[in-house]
Amino acid sequence: MSAWIIGLGVAAGYLVNKNQMVVSRIDNAVAHYSGGDERESTGGSSSVEIDKAKLIPLNHAIGCDDINNLISGGDVKKIESAMTSNAAEVRAYDSAASPPEIIGVMLQVGV
């Protein structure tokens, strides 16, 4: 009978210790998140700098100097036109008045 009591005591001690470790990890994470510097999580950039970078059009960020010189002029023009059309598609998608219509949701039954 005393082995059961010792086992229960050890199990209760383990659970209390585990609970304290989890609570302290959560408290540390909350303190780091709420009190930490925002530059730590973004690699040295503030949210204002990131928002300004989002406003720069794609074709200004990548120019012909970034493209390999071995590519022919016709291919470079194709690449640049593809970049321009892709940037226009992204702007059109981001500036949509309403979210896309959801046609259906797959439901899984019997699992």
**40 and 89 co-located in one domain:** no
Give percent of the chain above pLDDT 70.
74
Give percent of the chain above pLDDT 90.
25
**70 and 50 co-located in one domain:** no
User: DSSP per residue over 60-95, as a string?
Assistant: HHS-GGGS-TTS-HHHHHHHHHHHHHHHHHHHHHHT
**Dihedrals phi, psi of 103, to nearest 5 degrees:** -80, -40
Picking from 82, 104, 85, the residue whose alpha carbon sits closest to that of residue 93 is 85
Does residue 99 lie in a domain region? Answer: no
**61 and 51 co-located in one domain:** no
Picking from 51, 58, 46, the residue whose alpha carbon sits closest to that of residue 89 is 58
pLDDT digits (tens, 9 = 90+) for 2-25: 888 999 999 999 999 999 999 999
**Could you give the number of structural domains in the chain?**
2
Quickly state the pLDDT bin for 108 (edges 50, 70, 90).
confident
- Does 38 have pLDDT greater than 60? no
Does residue 26 lie in a domain region? Answer: yes
Does residue 100 lie in a domain region? Answer: no
**71 and 22 co-located in one domain:** no
Its domain, for residue 2, covers 1-55
**51 and 63 co-located in one domain:** no
